[in-house]
Amino acid sequence: MRKRKNAVLLAVVLGAACVSLAGCGGKEKEKRELTVFNYGEYMDPDMIDQFTEETGIRIHYEEALTPEEMYTKYKSGAIEYDLLCTSDYMLQKLIEEGEFQKIDMDQLEYKNNIGERYWEFSKAFDPENAYTVPYFWGTVGILYDTTKTDGPVDSWDVLFNGKYAGEIVMQNSIRDTFMVALKYLGYSLNSDSEAELREAQELLLKQKPDVQAYLVDEARDEVVAGNATMAVVYSGEAYLGHQYNENLAYVVPKEGSNVWLDSWGVTKYCDDLDAAQQFLDFLCREDVAKKNFEYIYYSTPNEAVLASLSEEERADESLVPPDDATENCEVSVQMSQETTDLMDTLWKELKAD
């Protein structure tokens, strides 16, 4: 084993020597590369090839499922990622831990394609808009079957009043489910008050017998298949659900909800900031953003793409949330360790009941 270790060490030293020699030989010949870390199925794969064709910069593409998984993989340091796309609160955590470097926004020719509104959303976790570039965004709301509901569905109340007992699917995620209860009670979804969180838990405990299941990705499918009347889902899921079953509708309840934002950041390991910025600029470009939008069908912050959509697409609230729908919405931010622990415990109590 010891010998093995030495061999690895030798290889690393030799490798480093080669790189430094190549550096002396002239920068033009050096192959430019970027290691990109993104959620699964969150970019049109053709765009990666197109970027390499246009710029000659090679992309190593890596995927993960959840922000937590991404964080764990990134922190383990096994791969030095240059660019990373993740969600609001996780971005905040990474910025606070000094994992990101500042982006020179003036170098991004197409950054104005991203609407002012989304740069404002970003300020919740990136106050100076210095570290992140918005990629996709959306809301959390209720996906429901219009043939099985009677009366308006415009409030979280439908999940708690017992009218649809046994017909409700909630998110199997601590923050998303607490968000629903907190918003219904009129509190902030970023509440760190123990009393408010306990009140939310009490409400969820009372609701549990009415809940058919706590699911993540299958939440949408259960409504599509007619097994459940309504489910708490992400807006992108709602759009896809509507494609399968046109009786489905999506609403962001009037009490407000969560606006989520997935953005790109450049990590501290990136030593070719110019290449990274070229990549970000590429993603902001209208034709590329449109291709990605058509691949993913989440709401795009790219106003050039929005302007090119058909009337029908633009009228779909799950695809293009109107301004007033997000009025009472908040971006979720990273909670203190203490609050996170409390929520974990409250969640386990809820599940154990």
Q: Which residues bind other proteins (CB under 8 A)?
A: 66, 68-69, 71-72, 166, 172-174, 208, 211-215, 222, 225-228, 340-341, 344-345, 347-349, 351-352
CA dist., res. 173 & res. 180, Å (int): 11
Least distance in Å: CB of 213 to other proteins? 3
- Closest by alpha carbon to 118, among 20, 310, 263, 14? 263
Whichever of 304 and 343 has its CB closer to other proteins, that residue is 343
Least distance in Å: CB of 60 to other proteins? 25
Least distance in Å: CB of 145 to other proteins? 12
Beta strands in 100-182, from DSSP E residues, in sequence order: 100-101, 132-145, 168-171
Whichever of 287 and 344 has its CB closer to other proteins, that residue is 344
Whichever of 9 and 165 has its CB closer to other proteins, that residue is 165
Least distance in Å: CB of 227 to other proteins? 5
Least distance in Å: CB of 87 to other proteins? 14
Least distance in Å: CB of 303 to other proteins? 35
Least distance in Å: CB of 226 to other proteins? 5
C-alpha distance from residue 154 to each of 158, 175, 185 (Å) = 8, 21, 15
Q: Angle CA(258)–CA(263)–CA(266) in degrees, nearest 5? A: 145
For residue 327, the one-letter residue type is E
Half-sphere exposure of 41 (CA within 13 A, CB side): 6
Whichever of 54 and 68 has its CB closer to other proteins, that residue is 68
Say if residues 264 and 135 touch (Cβ distance below 8 Å): yes
Whichever of 54 and 338 has its CB closer to other proteins, that residue is 338
CA dist., res. 244 & res. 247, Å (int): 9
Strand 83-87 vs strand 258-267: parallel, antiparallel, or unpaired?
A: antiparallel
Residue found under tokens 């609050």: 339
Whichever of 49 and 68 has its CB closer to other proteins, that residue is 68
Whichever of 30 and 338 has its CB closer to other proteins, that residue is 338
Least distance in Å: CB of 252 to other proteins? 23
Q: Angle CA(111)–CA(277)–CA(83) in degrees, nearest 5? A: 110
Give the CA radius of gyration of the chain: 22
Least distance in Å: CB of 202 to other proteins? 16
CA dist., res. 38 & res. 142, Å (int): 27
Whichever of 1 and 21 has its CB closer to other proteins, that residue is 1
CA dist., res. 67 & res. 87, Å (int): 7
Whichever of 129 and 173 has its CB closer to other proteins, that residue is 173
Give residue 294's Cα distance to chain centre: 17
Q: How many Cβ atoms are within 10 Å of 20's Cβ, its own excluded?
A: 10
Biggest alpha carbon–alpha carbon distance for the chain: 74
